[in-house]
Structure 1
């Protein structure tokens, strides 16, 4: 780019995406006089999914604004909780976020997950076709124009990933209502109905069951229940304001 100079600053939360010299204060950028502000922001490393309000000389503008010489640009972080157009709030996770997907499902959050790498174009198209917020740590994927909505997952630790998504989007929580394997709804199941699917020890020890209405997987309060219960209790304690009715 070699045209009008603008002066840009990024919110501290966006420092992860921009080069070190641009992380503090306002810096100068040469534009070509035709590129939109959205293009300029992304060229500097920030996916538009992570940019909140864009201010030019203190007034809000859209990403389609074409910067003029001398403009003072401020790129803010997204609001938290972040409003998402349309309803209901649903997610799509890429192949690297399987643990996060299972934890969201544990909390009753609609979280589709691709266990195989189907490619960026297919993921973006699926996000648009099903109106799902795409969650990913792939910055390039989040820059695809066909996305309906997306969000960068800032941590590589599942505990922190879950807190990040719950804090950012505040989805309604309905624990123990979704299949952690396929995302389908769970229903109470009579022991006799699921008997053929149970090991002898399970059949002898447990009496309360649920079953996925889509993949037919059977659930009971087994050896891992205490660990899962702790995840649920932590989420309800800190983010339970959005508990589903």
Structure 2
């Protein structure tokens, strides 16, 4: 018997994962008659982390559905914002260090692995800590042990940040996390961090914060204007921040 042929239609946002020959209104695929829809979708290059609702001939199905000959499959993109039962936290791979720092600047829990510890260890940490894996590595996002995952679509940090904030809508608490280690910050007296201050900072500033995990000191230095702009843009577009002490 001939292998079943099915037709797949992908949301425009998912077209980038397909080969150029398969982009367009729909594409025909021969299956083995036993593979699940999830397997078929991923075999075409689309990570299931990016696939939202799935439909077969207009009826809603899940990734375990085994497509039958002639079925028209519709693969939608993930609906935004993507909701989770508990507050979201993230794990970023070695290539997303700038994004990790910007998320931390906004008070978002963002763990970051540098140097690279390998896909298996990243997936295991995601599962153990209930963190959403953020990556541009499609292979990593296909690992079944992940708690959850998301493909980061852009190479540019500003666009990466907007992508993550629009997709997951995490609560923002600017200036509450250490951009170096992800620990929480607390307000401290100048004398507590005197050994980390240069003469100019000691003379010019009176408000300081310190990471409760690594001890890094923070104050409003010359670079603060650019960080303020990142925070202001994010808050303006994605919501009112929680009230937190700022350095």
TM-score bucket (shorter structure)? over 0.9
Alignment of 1:1-245 (within 5 A): 3-84=3-84, 86-241=85-240, 243-244=241-242
- How many angstroms apart in 1 are the aligned matches of 2:195 and 2:11? 57
SS at match of 2:133: strand
User: In the alignment, is the contact (CA less than 8 A) between 2:87 and 2:170 conserved in 1?
Assistant: no
Deviations 1:125-146 (A, max 9, x none): 1101101000000111111111
- How many angstroms apart in 2 are the aligned matches of 1:109 and 1:244? 11
CA deviation after TM superposition for structure 1 residue 197, in Å: 2.2
Question: What is the TM-score when the length of structure 2 is the normalising length?
Answer: 0.95
User: In the alignment, is the contact (CA less than 8 A) between 2:101 and 2:180 conserved in 1?
Assistant: yes
User: In the alignment, is the contact (CA less than 8 A) between 1:9 and 1:22 conserved in 2?
Assistant: no
Q: Structure 2, unaligned stretches of length 5 or more?
A: none
SS at match of 2:16: coil
- How many angstroms apart in 2 are the aligned matches of 1:114 and 1:29? 38
CA deviation after TM superposition for structure 1 residue 199, in Å: 1.8
CA deviation after TM superposition for structure 1 residue 23, in Å: 1.8
Q: After the TM superposition, which of the residue ranges 93-102 and 232-241 deviates more from structure 2?
A: 232-241
- How many angstroms apart in 1 are the aligned matches of 2:25 and 2:193? 62
Question: What is the TM-score when the length of structure 1 is the normalising length?
Answer: 0.96
CA deviation after TM superposition for structure 1 residue 60, in Å: 0.9
State the aligned residue count: 242
Deviations 1:82-125 (A, max 9, x none): 113x3120000000000000000000000000111000000011
- How many angstroms apart in 2 are the aligned matches of 1:223 and 1:7? 57
Deviations 1:153-190 (A, max 9, x none): 00000010001101111110000000000000000011
Q: Structure 1, unaligned stretches of length 5 or more?
A: none
